[in-house]
Amino acid sequence: MTPSACRPPRADLVLPCLDEAEALPWVLARVPAGWRAIVVDNGSTDGSADIARGLGATVVHEPRRGFGAACHAGLLAARAELVCFCDCDASMDPGLLAPMAERVAAGE
């Protein structure tokens, strides 16, 4: 078993966010161990940024509205070799990203 098979590669996970206070606890709890969650607050009025920060996420504020603007701001804040993007509304499970990231890191 190779070392990469033992644990997923480190990555930054960009999570564009607009009023996702209810979904954030579940989403952030599912971020793979060792990954940095970057929540890009895109003008939330429900306290999403404070919740994300309280749960350990790095929070970036993007005043330009739109998914693309939020993704771009998150990418600029990312520092890891691998960067993943995931909706912040609990429609996707961030925990499912680790196997894909491992394949990318392996050159597949």
pLDDT of residue 7: 53
Contact predicate 61/49, CB 8 Å: yes
Domain count, the chain: 1
Per DSSP, which regions of the chain are E strands?
A: 11-17, 36-41, 58-61, 82-85
The overall longest dimension of the chain from CA atoms, in Å, is: 47
In a domain, residue 104? The reply is: no
> What is the domain extent for residue 28?
8-90
| Residue 3 domain flag | no
Query: Would you say residue 68 lies in a domain?
Result: yes
Mean pLDDT rounded to a whole number for the chain: 91
The answer to whether position 101 is within a domain reads no
User: pTM score, two decimals?
Assistant: 0.89
**Among 95, 13, 93, which residue's Cα sits nearest to residue 60?**
13
Q: Residue 63 in contact with residue 73, Cβ under 8 Å? A: no
Looking at residue 9, what is its pLDDT? 63
Q: Is the Cβ–Cβ distance between 23 and 89 less than 8 Å?
A: yes
Asked if residue 97 is part of any domain, the answer here is no
| Domain annotation covers residue 26 | yes
51: domain CATH number is 3.90.550.10
Q: 55 by DSSP, 3-state: which?
A: coil
> What pLDDT was estimated at residue 31?
96
What confidence tens digit (pLDDT) does each residue in 3-30 have?
Answer: 444 455 689 999 999 999 999 999 999 9
Instruction: Find tokens 């993704």 and name the residue.
Output: 71
